[in-house]
Amino acid sequence: MAATKPEMTDSWVMKLCRRRHKNIAAVALAAKNARTAWALLIRNQVIKEVAACTCDRCGRRMTPDAAQPYEWAEKLSIAFRGGYGSVFGDGNDVSIDLCQHCVRDTLGEWLRIEPPDGPTGVE
C-alpha cells in the first residue's frame, strides 16, 4: 500500500521504509500495531474499573453512588487518539472529563437540548 498510495500511509512508516529494508519496516509496523492494540485493551480495562472521576474544569468529584447520582450520569468523558493530520497531533492521546455544569457552561451555546417526547414528557 505504501508504494501505491503514499497519501494513505503513516509518515512514520514511509520514513522507516526509506531508511530500512521493507521486511524490517513490516516487522516494525506489526510491532507498533501490537503495542497499539495492547494499549487499547489496557485502556478498556481501566475504563471498566473507573469508580470516580474529577471534572477537569472545576474539580468537582463525581462518583456513581454519590448523594447526587445525576452528576455521574450526566458527566461527559471524551478520550481518543489523534489520527493522521489531527489538530491535536498525530498519535497524541486526548481526554477530558467534565461535570454537567461545566458541559453547560462551556458548550451550552452549541448543545441541542430538547424536552422529552410526548405532551407530558412521558412516551
Of 17, 25, 60, 71, the one binding Zn ion by CB under 5 A: 60
Q: Which of residues 69-108 bind Zn ion (CB under 5 A)?
A: 99, 102
**Looking at 32, 43, 57, 104, which residue binds Zn ion (CB under 5 A)?**
57
Amino acid at 61: R
Phi, psi of 84 (to 5 degrees): -60, 125
Contact status: 17 vs Zn ion (CB under 5 A): no
Window contacting Zn ion (CB under 5 A); options: 3-11, 31-39, 47-55, 88-96 = 47-55
Q: Which of 16, 17, 25, 55 binds Zn ion (CB under 5 A)?
A: 55
CA distance linking residue 80 with residue 25, whole number of Å: 26
> Taking Cα atoms as reference points, which of 74, 81, 73 lies closest to residue 40?
81
Rounded to 5 degrees, what are φ and ψ at 32?
-65, -45
- Provide the binding-site residues for Zn ion, judged by CB under 5 A: 55, 57-58, 60, 99, 102
